Structure 1
């Protein structure tokens, strides 16, 4: 009998769900626009078995993919495991076989040579496929209609990198998917691969370079001509793994770098510019763009580490106040001769994370950004449902052109998961569309899917879709039109 530990990662709203399900025409209140025709895919870490070593961090659960299919004013639900090598081996054994997060030294010997991916970080749609991503391995490919697992994508070995990002970008000018793979030559190495995949799903470019030091490179930005990569000291090493320490730890003594990497076939190490600044924490990226010789890189910056489960390497206690991140513009000038940033400009006093844009403006100057706000001034009766333990209780909209902000609070007994923008049509103006996101109903141990008019979030959801099961905290998700993924055939005649 499975007995999960009585710890925060496995109890309360974080209790493992482990449910595969199909539910047609979910009950909802409000109105789902009939012109909304497509599917929102998201992923949650959801452990199949209790952790082999007795306890674990929440980030180490197996990937469970959820699909919400909107059509004809209704919403259908499907949920399936991402059946990785890890999932299959443990399913056959009937128990956990993999140990600590990104530490193969703690695994059962039978797993040697397997990808350790849990495919639990992003559910991404590209080239007609569902990509279930975890950045320590190649991406797992699934069928977006059946949601059955196919295989890990290495392009028949043409991809030499051992890893593939969980945060790719699609260049709206070329249609290419841009990706990186950090620790490309092996765990804890300073090699990074830069890759582009064409709209037909084929690998068209893979170039390698070295970074100032090994760290978590969870996200990045692109512009028309460059890949923009921030190096922030959530560092790791084999020494840490051998000691049984968490894979990553935050080092407040190291500087932060911003790399500007030309996106071209003849990339050479000397073509890369590395800019340097004082220590801070930053993970997710809103967007990046070029403005003359300057690069703007918008990210959520905090003074100190945001991940309490990857503690300070010097033993300092986690500081929640210093972990509150705010949208910030890092600007560097390629016309300069030095390594200093041109400017670091905080854009708001609102604390937020999980930033999203209208993805049609990736790599271009954009006007609107949405995110999960952490408003500690609001009443809170229950906490839970977020990846890092933070109270993410508001949807936040920032107008970068006017500076105006909107905020929508989910109430004292709920919390929110990452928003996703859906354009009203292929050619609609920026921001004309909807925001979709999961809401954790902490008191009732269930979930709702909320739909907002994207530029008028303060009026509240235009539709609330009631999910009769509890969706664990999720990480990232994306939307695709029905015709792009073959879902039209599933709709009733």
Structure 2
């Protein structure tokens, strides 16, 4: 891969992230607004600032399955405030890695901030120095995209190592036992400082697929990393008008990307988020593009079009004869900036205008067809043993309408039958908010429900974080075990379960 060419072509995107002066800083008014709202609504504590490290034993209610033994790694933004200022967007916070040790009927937890260059320098300065996803700050210039690396989106155990991921820069290696920061990971010398997304996908052979994108470059970097950690292949694909791409899907033969209808308008006075302009409505509206890359050659195979929507997350993908089918949660309209209101104390508009959809790509006909699987939802996932193959169960979170949530808080766990559309669901009580849940198979699992649905929920009434364990065959019966911490840990985005 020609790293120099990629980084040179990335200058628009990198400059947009904070190189030039003239900006709206993180501010005290945002902080004051949030804390005033927090006094009225304890549910906002989910987005409150966290200080220091966390460690404690959980109190287990119910019965932890004897064969659920391992570590549940999670990651998400934890520091939103510094020097009397507060960030403008949820995605801006510094990453706090979390480790849930499960086994022998017991659960313990620890959380540690990732000591990135950004976190270390700003802690020393006592104030924010660098621009983030949704907050423009011009107090200190950046040298590369890793200057801004917040390491706040996913925590990936791979090849005996552990990586905190952020889509705009390098993976950051952590100690899997202590969560101590080891440093930036360079997969190969010519790939140093390249963007490495927060949603890598495992192949059945144990290898890892990933990509890196920076809007404004029209270039997508692709990676295939072997199970032993060596780079097997790397390449670049040109995609016109490339904007934010957060996730992708992988089948046995293809890498599949959805490019939402935004245009990137380079303006150094604005945040990275504010430079994305929605062009999916009105005169001249653009479609969402489905970009299919051949895994064998890392070259573009086909581009399809769908109605204009936004997408964050995918489920699974599989090749079916002359077609490829994959799951994605599609959102209506421009939703990129909506989560910014959380930082001011506004309730999150968790996707009421979305649906979990299975998309079929017909290569012979050149068409893309949609089939609705489930309504408003997010965080799709499947059992790891069916990755890249035909699957029939999809885990999703949704917002229940009762219990004072008003359909705006993710409080319901679902396992959806993709053939019938029927959902096995459990809704938590008022004041609870659920995070992503992942499917964990039993050893030698015989089906997609032969295992557990494991996740985390926030009990805002008691300001405590709770590990939740469901029997995947009986989700509606409620958790078989709840492991409650004596404190609140930051709300996480993504993570992975590593069996012992």
Alignment TM class, shorter chain as reference = 0.7 to 0.9
Contact 1:163/1:181 (8 A) holds in 2:
yes
Quote the RMSD (CA, aligned, Å): 2.7
Contact 1:218/1:283 (8 A) holds in 2:
yes
- Distance of 1:204 and 1:99 partners within structure 2: 34
- Distance of 2:70 and 2:89 partners within structure 1: 33
Between 3-12 and 40-49, report the one with greater CA deviation.
3-12
TM-aligned CA deviation for residue 98 of structure 1: 1.4
Match of residue 214 from structure 1 = 242
TM-aligned CA deviation for residue 210 of structure 1: 1.2
Deviations 1:174-213 (A, max 9, x none): 2110001012xxx631110111111111111111011132
Gaps of 5+ in 2: 1-26, 39-43, 341-347
Find 1:178's aligned residue among 209, 223, 229. Answer: 209
Find 1:378's aligned residue among 402, 415, 418. Answer: 402
Match of residue 386 from structure 1 = none
SS across alignment from 2:148: coil
Question: Where do residues 145-224 of structure 1 align in structure 2 (5 Å cutoff)?
Answer: 145-159=177-191, 162-172=194-204, 174-183=205-214, 188-224=216-252
For this pair of structures, how many residues does the alignment match?
454
Say yes or no: does 1:143 pair with 2:172: no
TM-aligned CA deviation for residue 18 of structure 1: 2.3
Match of residue 325 from structure 1 = 354
- Distance of 2:443 and 2:190 partners within structure 1: 36
- Distance of 2:120 and 2:487 partners within structure 1: 24
Match of residue 483 from structure 2 = 465
Is the alpha carbon distance of 1:402 and 1:100 closer, same or farther for their aligned partners in structure 2, counting shifts above 3 Å?
closer
TM-score by length of 2: 0.84
Contact 1:161/1:181 (8 A) holds in 2:
no
Is the alpha carbon distance of 1:80 and 1:277 closer, same or farther for their aligned partners in structure 2, counting shifts above 3 Å?
same
- Distance of 1:27 and 1:169 partners within structure 2: 33
SS across alignment from 1:86: helix
TM-aligned CA deviation for residue 374 of structure 1: 1.8
TM-aligned CA deviation for residue 248 of structure 1: 3.2
Deviations 1:10-40 (A, max 9, x none): 953121122412324x211101112211010
Contact 1:171/1:362 (8 A) holds in 2:
yes
Say yes or no: does 1:20 pair with 2:50: no
Say yes or no: does 1:362 pair with 2:391: no
Say yes or no: does 1:242 pair with 2:269: yes
Gaps of 5+ in 1: 312-318, 384-389, 483-493
TM-aligned CA deviation for residue 217 of structure 1: 0.6
Match of residue 125 from structure 1 = 157
- Distance of 2:294 and 2:193 partners within structure 1: 19
Find 2:115's aligned residue among 83, 108, 112. Answer: 83
TM-aligned CA deviation for residue 138 of structure 1: 1.0
- Distance of 1:321 and 1:267 partners within structure 2: 35
TM-aligned CA deviation for residue 282 of structure 1: 2.0
- Distance of 1:111 and 1:305 partners within structure 2: 29
- Distance of 1:138 and 1:287 partners within structure 2: 25
